[in-house]
Amino acid sequence: MTTQPQPDHLSRAFDQAKPDTPSDALRQLDQLADAVEHLAHANACDVESDAEPSVHDASRPAFNELRLLEQVIDNLSVHTENDELIADAMSEIAALVGSDSVWVVEADADSALGAVHVMGELIIGDSELPRDVTRLCENLYDRRRENIEKLEFPLPDGGLRVAMPLRVKQTWFGAIVFNTPPSPAIDLGVRDRLLSSILRFLAISIENRHFVDSLTDMIVETVCGFSLAIESRDAYTGGHVMRVTAYALALGQKLGLSEDEQAVLRLGGLLHDIGKVAIPDKILNKTDRLTDAERDVMQAHPAVGHAILGRIPHLDRSNEIVRSHHERWDGTGYPDRLAGSDIPFLARILAITDSFDAMTSDRPYRKCLSFDAAMAEIKKCAGTQFDPDLAEVFLSLTDQELAATEARMQRWIHSRNHRADLNLGQLVAMKKPSI
């Protein structure tokens, strides 16, 4: 006869289902699944054998508890978007405790009250919190060092408003608040154990989002730092990188590029001349035309920039722009002599805006062209230097449209929130697929 797991084994399995890292969460979910499978097999054996009730009958509540937890975590594990996960977690908790009102209140850097999620509402962060919900969150936050598991506030109908923390170890991420009916339909000990496990899972998801936000901040700030380094090397093209990027975004928006593609284009534009950091000053800032040998050195900058950025995987697609923005539609460009549609699409966009800004900027050896004269040159070179279809769309842009995009780019690059236009999906989109 199969030996049945003892109730204390189940308690240990349940107590261990408190993940502190994403890898812990996955491993411990596997452990829970194994425990549930073992118990299910034991139950099946008892049904077939008509055996006398054994010690495992006492473990049925724990078995049911594990089954319920497994089902809830299974439902929540399908989400990749943090806000969707929080919304479904609130619904699961409402069903578990019999509540008609649930709030998730994320903490910000120095306060209990950050982003607010309300069950059943799509808009995040704009909801008015009831005063007692605010008070519970603030009280829980103020006493976070005491490791309090919950705070309660009595409601007029005899129920309770309960606040529980969202935290991983000693890191605080916020609180969840819900109402309970006067007569709960579930044992309070079971309820709180299930809630504790669900909230740890939810806190880990929020922690992961914070990690992604930090990674995004690091990448964007690094790119902005690189672009400023490029500008500081070239005394005669101040603002070139920013303008080229702004004009490329104007063309991209006219083409109907997705937000993901625009994010790749923005960072590729800011980085397109990064290879110039390796060009000697005497060549980079030369006041007359370059010799053939000097031109060869200058034309190495796309390949040099591509090599510099090659070890940053999340810039893979932007790095294609860096390498190929001097390729020509007729195949006579550099460094790879690509032609036509073999040139990466976003690099073809930047090739137009890079040339346009070069023509409309003063150089030591010539004065800039007017807007109309530069546009005429773009039209003349369509089909030889530039993708003719993209050039046609660029020619439809007005001076005012380009100036407005340039002003927006100026505000963005000097802001303190560069990540505002870059989310997780866009960050992932910057990494080239492995197949």
10-residue mean pLDDT profile of the chain (435 residues): values are: 44 48 50 51 48 47 52 52 71 76 79 78 64 83 77 82 78 80 72 73 71 67 70 68 92 93 90 88 83 92 91 84 97 96 97 94 78 96 97 96 88 62 47 42
Task: Say yes or no: 335 and 191 in one domain.
Answer: no
For residue 277, give the CATH number of its domain: 1.10.3210.10
Residue 402 inside a domain? The answer is yes
Residue 111 DSSP class: B
pLDDT value for 320 = 95
Please tell me whether residues 159 and 42 are part of one structural domain: no
Catalytic residue flag (residue 276): yes
Residue 227 lies in a domain: no
The tally of domains found in the chain comes to: 3
Is 226 a member of any domain? no
pLDDT of residue 73: 55
CATH number of the domain within which 125 lies: 3.30.450.40
pLDDT computed for residue 36 by the predictor = 47
Of 47, 78, 109, at which residue does a domain stop?
Answer: 78
The 3-state DSSP class for residue 184 equals coil
Q: Residues 254, 276, 379, 431: which is the catalytic one?
A: 276
Q: Are residues 132 and 196 in the same domain?
A: yes
Looking at the fold, whether 253 and 398 belong to one and the same domain comes out as yes
| Residue where a domain terminates, one of 43, 58, 78 | 78
Residue 136 within a domain: yes
Q: Same structural domain for residues 45 and 168?
A: no
Q: What pLDDT is recorded for position 14?
A: 45
What pLDDT, on the 0 to 100 scale, is given for residue 376? 96
Of 120, 202, 242, which is closest to residue 234 (Cα–Cα)? 242
133 within a domain of the structure (yes/no):
yes
What is the structure's pLDDT at 41?
A: 54
**Domain range enclosing 142:** 80-207
Helices assigned H by DSSP within 50-81: 60-76
Neighbour-count burial of 281, counting CB atoms closer than 10 A to its CB (0-12 exposed, 13-18 middle, 19+ buried): exposed
Whether residue 29 lies inside any domain: the answer is yes
Cα atoms found within 13 Å of the Cα of residue 112, Cβ hemisphere only: 19
51 and 172 in a single domain? The answer is: no
Q: Both 275 and 333 in a single domain? A: yes
| CA 116 to chain CA mean position, Å | 19
* Predicted pLDDT at 160: 80
Whole-prediction pTM: 0.57
Quick one: 258 and 285 in the same domain? yes
**Domain shared by 58 and 191, yes or no:** no
Considering the domain boundaries, does residue 216 fall inside one? no
Same domain? For 245 and 324 the reply is yes
Domain finish residue from 33, 60, 78:
78
In a domain, 320, yes or no: yes
In contact, 5 and 59? CB cutoff 8 Å:
yes
DSSP SS3 for 160: strand
Q: What is the reported pLDDT for 374?
A: 95
How far apart are alpha carbons 371 and 369 in whole angstroms? Answer: 7
Q: Domain check: are 240 and 163 in the same one?
A: no
**Any idea what the Cα angle at residue 283 is, between residues 279 and 286, rounded to 5°?**
140
pLDDT of residue 362: 75
Q: Is residue 60 domain-shared with residue 37, that is, in the same domain?
A: yes
**Contact by Cβ (8 Å): 273, 231:** no
